[in-house]
Amino acid sequence: MKSEVSILIPFDLGLELEFGGEEANRIVKEISTRTTQLISFKDKMTAKAQVVTQIYKFGVGLIEVSFPMEAEMGFLTFFATEVKSISVGSMGILSWVKTFVNGLIEQAKVFASYQYVYRLEELDLFPVFSLEPGSVKDAEKFLEQHYKRLYGIVSGEANYDSLSQFVMENEKLINFGYYENELILIKRFGAVISSYESQVILNIIRLVYALYWNLRSYNFLLDRELDKAQSILAHLPPWYKFWMMPQRYQKFSEEGMNFVQDKLSIVESIYSVFANVNQIASDWHLRTIYKYVEKEFDIDDIASAVKVKLDRVEQSYNSAREFIATNFFIAVEIVLILSLLWMILDTALLYIISKK
């Protein structure tokens, strides 16, 4: 069976981007296309691959390694579940990607409108198999015939042959094909497509996967911010060290303002995606696929978790400033009262001495 294999590898840029000129309203920009060294897989296949690198406005880079493959379904499943075993030249695919990620980030900085202090350095692989259009004559029969193997591809389950009936019934594969001979299967760890619109569907997967990685990077960033905020709250100066408070208040205010900038960029980034997907919004079938893929990647849940963390960090900085301000004024009042008492005592002593 002939197919085009696309391996999607997202990475966090640690940047927010703005494209200028005619590309100002675009959400993605292609920055390079080239051919790799010979790629291999467990001495069972070799091929030349095309590598396309894209950068998304919300701060994610996406490397796509694609090449043709002709094999039976069993091998496609084996390939999908062992995709991290691919070698590019003499290097494993993830090690190979790491060698030029920093260079791609430097290229992207030309379009940067904002840069974060930290970035998520993890990498992941998502295989997509675009079967030759027309190779699936009856999608339902094809799905029934290869059900467990297809399930193994999209779920990344190496032991797909041993799956129980419980799994089969509760994690059913849903074919989102529009026509009877169209196969569109997508889950968290892979996709199988046989459609004349395979490129459009692949674009949807690219976008949602990049958005998922973007939210993961925000989760990572906010975990660091939460740790920092908790450390600040744990080491606030006590009221009697009032001379330290103005400096600490200024520091927490700066940290808080820096975080507000992060928050504005993050919120704008999350919502910018949905305003730029016109082709999807105007087509019922593509819109349905988009929503389904979003659900598979838990986009709404992760976005909600990010918003909760944003509020918690902001609240922590506000609480720290309020605590410092309140304690500072209490300390100043105590000092003033003590000064007043000392003045009264001093006056009384002078009066007593003068009488003698």
User: DSSP letter at 51?
Assistant: E
> Within a domain: residue 355?
no
| Co-location of 98 and 152 in the same domain | yes
Q: Are residues 176 and 264 in the same domain?
A: no
**11 occurs within a structural domain:** yes
Q: Is 173 found in the same domain as 125? A: yes
Q: Has residue 260 been placed in a domain?
A: yes
Task: Say what the pTM is.
Answer: 0.80
Q: How many CB atoms lie within 10 A of CB 98?
A: 14
- Tokens 């009264």 belong to 344
Q: Which residue positions in the chain have pLDDT lower than 50?
A: 275
Q: Is residue 356 part of a domain?
A: no
- Residue 99 sits in the same domain as residue 143: yes
Q: What pLDDT is stored for residue 275 in this prediction?
A: 47
User: How many domains is the chain partitioned into structurally?
Assistant: 2
Question: Which of the listed residues 160, 182, 204 is the one where a domain comes to its end?
Answer: 204
Question: By residue range, what is the domain housing residue 16?
Answer: 2-204
Q: What is the pLDDT of residue 119?
A: 86
Q: Are residues 185 and 224 both part of a single domain?
A: no
> Cβ distance 53 to 104 under 8 Å?
yes
Would 13 be classed as within a structural domain? yes
Q: Distance (Å, rounded) from C-alpha 54 to C-alpha 212?
A: 15
Check: CB of residue 217 under 8 Å from CB of residue 302.
Answer: no
Q: 154 and 183: one domain? A: yes
- Residue 313 maps to a domain: yes
Final residue before a domain boundary, out of 184, 204, 224? 204
Report if residue 64 sits inside a domain.
Answer: yes
Q: Please check whether residues 64 and 175 belong to one and the same domain.
A: yes
Q: Are residues 245 and 151 in the same domain?
A: no
Contact 285, 178 (CB under 8 A): yes
Query: Which among 104, 295, 284, 285 has a CA at the least distance from the CA of 212?
Result: 295
pLDDT in tens, 38-51: 888 888 888 888 99
Do 171 and 280 share a domain, yes or no? Answer: no
Residue pair 16/262 in contact by the 8 Å Cβ criterion: no
Three-class secondary structure assignment of 193-261? EECCCHHHHHHHHHHHHHHHHHHHHHHHHHHHHHHHHHHHHHCCCCCCCHHHHHHHHHHHHHHHHHHHH
Claim to verify: residue 138 and residue 267 sit in the same structural domain: no
User: Are residues 234 and 145 part of one domain?
Assistant: no
In a domain, 51, yes or no: yes
Amino acid 302: pLDDT: 83
Helix residue ranges, H only, the chain: 73-81, 93-108, 139-145, 147-155, 165-170, 198-234, 245-272, 278-281, 284-296, 299-355
The domain boundary, picked from 155, 172, 204, lies at: 204
Query: Looking at the structure, do residues 194 and 219 belong to the same domain, yes or no?
Result: no
Helix (H, G, I), strand (E, B) or coil at 262: helix
